[in-house]
Structure 1
Amino acid sequence: MSISAAFFAQAQDVSIIRNSIDVYSGSPMVGSSKFNAMAGSNGALGGDASSLLTNPAGLGVAISGEINGTLSINNNKNTSSLAGSSINYNVNDVDLGNVGGIMTFQLMTESAWKFINIGVNFSNQSIENYVETPGNSNLMYDFDVDRSSSYAGHAYNRYGNLSKTSFGVGANYNHNLYLGVGFNFFNATIDQYDTAAFKSLQNGAIDYFDKQNTPYFERSTGFSASLGVIGKVSPNFRIGAALETPTFWEIERSYDFYNDPELGDDFGYENRRFTSPLKATVSAAVVAGKNFSLNADYSLGLSRPKYKVYGPAETELNDFFEDNYKNVSELRLGAEYRIKQLRLRGGYSYVSNPLDALTINRFTNEGTTGDQSYSNLILNDRNLLSFGLGYDFKSFYIDAAYQNVTSKYSNPFMRGILTDNIDSAYYSPTDIVTSDAYIVSDVKNSRNNFFITFGWKF
């Protein structure tokens, strides 16, 4: 499929696609350090409030109350390469990553129902991302007959946070069957900038240009619900399944626009409604006594992202997702080994590329233009490797975890046109830069996440 010129002009920016998938169709997966060290794989194990991130039936596994808090320290490094040059940039964040708790209520009856448990979990992660790409003097832009420039650099800058607050109930039937339901409330903040730099061929001065409809700011809330079940096939083997509804988002947007025929340079406001994909998870776990456990989760998106249509931008976005979006799958593996009071943990996860191969008109490094197909445009698959330690002081415990997350993708930017009523060009205070072609850099993203959890069991 080719991405049409009209699509990105009306849809405002490539980043709208990226955020629709990466932010609004994703979900915070920052749990306790135990959860994070096992790569988020606990769908058939459960036992703590982080179960609300995967399978709420895990609440029913708990037989004692618990509360914990997790500090998250994150490093996000992007390396963007173009025409033989690269720029590295690191972003560091410290956040309250997770708070969770379970209250257990043992049913003192002759019934096979043993426990009814209530869980609360707050998961929070930074979505800050900065990609700076070097210039290429072979790429020329004509502002007017007396002034030409070469492309001198580009910066994509996103600030913000994504959080998920979950409330759930889990039940234990005869210590063999566990059921659960969860209700999830999301909040997202996005402040996003898109700036290009050009060097004058006449006097060497550098001009900076903001893309039309940027910077933009979004404040969003969402809701989803989840159902889950875990069953013991044998004393040492469990299976689980969970279903999470789409997240129904309400998005409030504000943005800068430039050179409007009637309003000039001003601010715009709009509201959007967005629905993320429905998601299912199946799980299996081996529990070898009290010393070793191994869990595997497989999650699959069952629908596509979709905007409520208010105008041509939402129609074009929905058409794009209909034609080019692939149902995202995720595999998570996690294990824990106990040596008396010491816990050793490790995990791995893989998330598939959410988009088909896409063909766009792009600049070559020599300055010519032409069509090229990319299998990893805008986003790509992601690999996560994790490990951790924990120590149990009877009622109190301390856990720590480390995650390394990597991804490589092709980064399109700088396309902007000004024809008829379609305007997605780049603006300085007095000038307009337009081109039908993208510049495409190669981006390597590496994230190093550290977590420490303090918990109390009662």
Structure 2
Amino acid sequence: MSLFPAVLFLHAQENTEIRNAATVYGNNMTLGTSRYLGMAGSMGAIGGDISATNVNPAGLGVYITGDFHATLGINSYKNTSTLNQNSLSYNKNNTNLSQFGGVLAFPLSGSDWKYLNIGINYLNQNLDDYIETPGDHDIYRDLQGQGIRDRVSFDGHSYNRTGHLTKTNFGVGGNYKNKLYVGLGLNFHAVDVRQWDSYRMQFASDPDDQKVFYNKQYSPYDESSVGFSMAVGAIGKLNDFFRLGLSIESPTWWDTERNYTSYSNADPKIYSDDRDFRTPAKASFSAALIPSKDFAFNIDYTLGISKPKYTSSIDQGSVNESLNQYFNSSSKNLSEFRVGAEYRVAGLRLRGGYSFANNPFDQQEIPSIHAGNKIENVNYNNLYVGKRNILGLGIGYDFRSFYVDAAYQNIRYDYDNPFFNGEYFTTDSSISSKGVNFKESIVSTVKNQQNNIFITMGYKF
């Protein structure tokens, strides 16, 4: 592989770079134990669950017994992309071991510190995401200036991402007088992802209505990344019924190795580059009402307190500058609200929760092509990610030492999906001029819906 001027890569992949900054690298995983997911992740001031350390590592200090468990995830997603009232949908299902972990609880005698607990939690999230947008022959471009016949019409677009995101958390928590719980978490992240971006054009003047596929410049590409973050937190027991929690999580520092395809009039070639990326830091505030051992109610609010930034140490200033300017001017602080409850009847556990997260990007005006080939500058306020809604429902049964939990998770978000702008190339030998370059975007509306089921089996000792 060869080193290629990475500034070219930036201009070709800006849309997916912006989206991946939030959905892949933003440390916003929606996985955990079935108990945690049944409450939509709202456990910041309750604790006592290894996955609650995703919100506040002080939840580890609440444990009074050891605990080992594993979670099977059955995941399903559906993407529907709509352009000018025409839609295409795609469904995909997968099953994997999405979580496993354990806690060792050490009682401390003769001290105001009641317990010292150590925990480990592993999360594995599938990153597969396929979006297919229908064609619209009322959208066309005159390519005489680019050396290709007289006119082509848009015949469809596809974006495909495959891969996995993992997070391993090592934590330690303490219990002081059963009134104050504290915790520290060290998080190790890893990403392996591959992406494609292509569209199909139809040559209107061709007697056979020839259709040709174009790949976006520097696509497909692979990324292999490792990241690190840390978090500290505390939970205060104000009285027997009410708790407050606070935690701070550092940015995640990512180191990414990338291989990508460069097109020209010659054969495509593979090049590589390295980049460093820093996600926003976060603060979480929690409150819990626990009037009895049979009922608990929790509210969490998480706020981003910094902005994403590329921080490569090598001389890639021109690569990072454009995206960093965008993040500084158009990204906003992540804001997520979660509410959850658990009710116990003897060994039976019933759970429910709801979570809402804003789109971390501001509205943006971009030149867009619409029906009838009309070009306008349009303000979009739902670009790249969109608002996320999560509904969680859960049930479980505690057989004293052994327990089984199940959860249903529904995730929904809608967003505006720009593509078509920038450089695209074809490898079709019948086309004399291989590349096209457009300034305008085509923008579809994507609806993503996920229906996931999780089953956790655990043992307390």
Which TM-score bucket, shorter chain as reference? Answer: over 0.9
- Does residue 181 (structure 1) correspond to residue 184 (structure 2)? The answer is yes
Name the amino acid aligned to 2:437.
Answer: T
CA distance in 1, matches of 2:325, 2:400: 56
Q: Which runs of 4+ in 1 moved over 4 A?
A: 6-9
Does structure 1 conserve the Cα–Cα contact (< 8 Å) formed by 2:181 and 2:234?
yes
Aligned position for 1:17: 18
Aligned position for 2:407: 401
Residues 135-180 of structure 1 deviation map (CA, whole Å, 9 limit, x = unaligned): 0001123453535321100001111111110001100011111011
Name the amino acid aligned to 1:189.
Answer: D
**Shift, 1:451, TM fit:** 0.3
Does structure 2 conserve the Cα–Cα contact (< 8 Å) formed by 1:164 and 1:187?
yes
CA distance in 2, matches of 1:48, 1:102: 9
- Does residue 356 (structure 1) correspond to residue 387 (structure 2)? The answer is no
- Does residue 313 (structure 1) correspond to residue 312 (structure 2)? The answer is no
**Shift, 1:33, TM fit:** 0.1
Q: Secondary structure at the match of 1:312?
A: helix
- Sequence identity (%): 44
Name the amino acid aligned to 1:207.
Answer: V
* Superposition TM-score, scaled by structure 2 size: 0.93
Matches within 5 A, 1:32-431: 32-109=33-110, 111-143=111-143, 144=147, 146=149, 148-201=151-204, 202=206, 203-259=208-264, 265-309=268-312, 310-416=316-422, 424-429=423-428, 430=431, 431=434
Unaligned runs of 5+ in 2: 1-6
Residues 157-205 of structure 1 deviation map (CA, whole Å, 9 limit, x = unaligned): 1111111100011000111110110100001111100010112221222
CA distance in 1, matches of 2:115, 2:345: 28
Residues 284-324 of structure 1 deviation map (CA, whole Å, 9 limit, x = unaligned): 00112110000111000000000025131211000000000
CA distance in 2, matches of 1:118, 1:35: 19
CA distance in 1, matches of 2:454, 2:73: 5
Q: Secondary structure at the match of 1:190?
A: strand
Name the amino acid aligned to 2:372.
Answer: E
CA distance in 2, matches of 1:138, 1:231: 62
Name the amino acid aligned to 2:289.
Answer: V
CA distance in 2, matches of 1:438, 1:50: 41
Aligned position for 1:420: none
Q: Secondary structure at the match of 2:372?
A: coil
Residues 263-290 of structure 1 deviation map (CA, whole Å, 9 limit, x = unaligned): 7520110000000101010100011211
**Shift, 1:366, TM fit:** 1.0
Aligned position for 2:4: none
Q: Secondary structure at the match of 1:234?
A: coil
CA distance in 2, matches of 1:148, 1:248: 46
**Shift, 1:426, TM fit:** 3.6
Does structure 2 conserve the Cα–Cα contact (< 8 Å) formed by 1:10 and 1:312?
no
Aligned position for 1:419: none
CA distance in 1, matches of 2:105, 2:10: 54
CA distance in 2, matches of 1:343, 1:25: 32
Name the amino acid aligned to 2:196.
Answer: Y
Does structure 1 conserve the Cα–Cα contact (< 8 Å) formed by 2:214 and 2:424?
no
Name the amino acid aligned to 1:427.
Answer: T
CA distance in 1, matches of 2:13, 2:65: 51
CA distance in 2, matches of 1:8, 1:371: 25
**Shift, 1:38, TM fit:** 0.3
Residues 53-90 of structure 1 deviation map (CA, whole Å, 9 limit, x = unaligned): 11111111000000100011111111101122100101
CA distance in 1, matches of 2:267, 2:127: 32
Change (3 A) 1:145 1:163: closer
CA distance in 1, matches of 2:177, 2:157: 61
Does structure 2 conserve the Cα–Cα contact (< 8 Å) formed by 1:221 and 1:250?
yes
Does structure 2 conserve the Cα–Cα contact (< 8 Å) formed by 1:130 and 1:157?
yes
* Superposition TM-score, scaled by structure 1 size: 0.94
CA distance in 2, matches of 1:171, 1:321: 38
Residues 98-156 of structure 1 deviation map (CA, whole Å, 9 limit, x = unaligned): 112100000122x2111000010011211211110000001123453535321100001
Aligned position for 1:421: none
Aligned position for 1:3: none
CA distance in 2, matches of 1:291, 1:30: 25
Name the amino acid aligned to 2:45.
Answer: A
Does structure 1 conserve the Cα–Cα contact (< 8 Å) formed by 2:218 and 2:260?
yes
Moved more, 339-348 or 251-260: 251-260
Residues 198-239 of structure 1 deviation map (CA, whole Å, 9 limit, x = unaligned): 122212222111100000100000001110100100101000
